Amino acid sequence: MKDQINEEILLAITAALAALETRPDYKLVVKSFKRVPQTSPVWSTTGRIERIERRM
């Protein structure tokens, strides 16, 4: 059985795509997606996520 995508991740991807669709001159079509292995340390990824959340 394949790994299931975390619901929070799916919601974040959906929200990002919805935000892009609000630009009238921009069209985005997602044909597929796949998981990629994590190459950076967890502490680095966590720091990046925290910076992004502070900007929102």
> Mean pLDDT over all residues of the chain?
77
Residue 49 covered by a domain? yes
Residue 31 covered by a domain? yes
pLDDT for res 5: 64
33, 17 contact by CB (below 8 A): no
Residue 46 covered by a domain? yes
- pTM beyond 0.75: the answer is no
What gap in Å lies between CA 18 and CA 41, rounded to an integer?
30
Tally of structural domains, the chain: 1
Residue 39 covered by a domain? yes
Residue 2 covered by a domain? no
Residue 32 covered by a domain? yes
- pLDDT > 70? residue 19: yes
Question: What is the residue range of 29's domain?
Answer: 7-55
